[in-house]
Structure 1
Amino acid sequence: MSEPTTPSVLFVCVHNAGRSQMAAAWLTHLADGRVEVRSAGSAPADAVNPAAVAAMTEVGIDMSTERPKILTVAAVRASDVVITMGCGDTCPVFPGRRYLDWKLDDPAGQGVEAVRPIRDEIERRVRALLAELGIEAA
């Protein structure tokens, strides 16, 4: 009998500074090591959005050491599920990958008050994704 494989998920948005970082942080937190998590952007920003960091800190998740990363073909190829964040990003398509597009407001330039509802919607979607993957949220 073969060992079960760990599913891998890649979150993509243009700057990899807000939505995709929050989604990766939620999935990392809720999957508790049972999912390989990546995030990237086609034109990464210099730093993660401070309002997104603050909003995640409010729920006990520290994103302060995260940095935006460039989207690579290797990251897409290594992922079972690729989730774009409603930002019209172009992403390489490979057979056998599942592609989803989560249309979410962009937290860029917003204060923490505006980011909270985005954070909460991302949590809801990440919990639903875990359920689809057959993984109980931690």
Structure 2
Amino acid sequence: MAAAILKHLAGRRIYVESAGVRPGEPDPFAIAVMEEMGIDMSRHKPVSVGDLHDLSFDLIVTLAPEAQHKALELAHGYAIDVEYWPTPDPTLASGSREQILDAYRDVRDRLFARIKQRFPLTGAGGV
């Protein structure tokens, strides 16, 4: 969700990639809550850090402790900044479909606010 939000806000002004510690499957709850704000993630294919072909990043933002450790290993010896934004894991939510969606909305909204604060973008593509 974070990468999709930044791509939405920045357009082509910032190169953004998304990768996890392990490859996964598209998350229908993430797709649903992002669609609520007009961001289409239906074609997103989760990949692992090992699947990335270009590692010429200036910044890696991680959302989970395991990802933070992996990013620090990856960035070792390179001029790459690594930031850790502790984020609740909405996949751990339980209850009704609406309760699970609320957990995803909470994460989406937190990420949106954090991204707008960290990457203040104005003009075309910025919200």
Aligned to 2:116: 127
The 5-angstrom pairing of residues 1-138 of structure 1 reads 22-45=1-24, 47-72=25-50, 77-89=55-67, 90-91=70-71, 92-93=74-75, 94-110=77-93, 111-131=100-120, 135-136=121-122, 137-138=126-127
The TM-score with structure 2 as length reference comes to: 0.80
Unaligned stretches of 5+ residues in structure 2: 94-99
Unaligned stretches of 5+ residues in structure 1: 1-21
Deviations 1:9-33 (A, max 9, x none): xxxxxxxxxxxxx001000000021
Length, aligned pairs only: 113
Richer in strand (by share): 1
Richer in helix (by share): 2
Question: Amino acid of the residue matched to residue 39 of structure 1?
Answer: S
CA distance in 2, matches of 1:96, 1:24: 21
The TM-score with structure 1 as length reference comes to: 0.74
What is the CA distance between 1:71 and its match in structure 2?
0.5
Quick check: 1:56–1:119 contact (8 Å CA) kept in 2? yes
Equivalent residue of 1:38, what SS?
coil
- In structure 2, the CA distance between the partners of 1:97 and 1:66, relative to structure 1 (3 Å rule), is same
Deviations 1:82-101 (A, max 9, x none): 01112322121243211100
The percentage of aligned residue pairs carrying the same residue is: 31
Deviations 1:18-54 (A, max 9, x none): xxxx001000000021011101112111x12111111
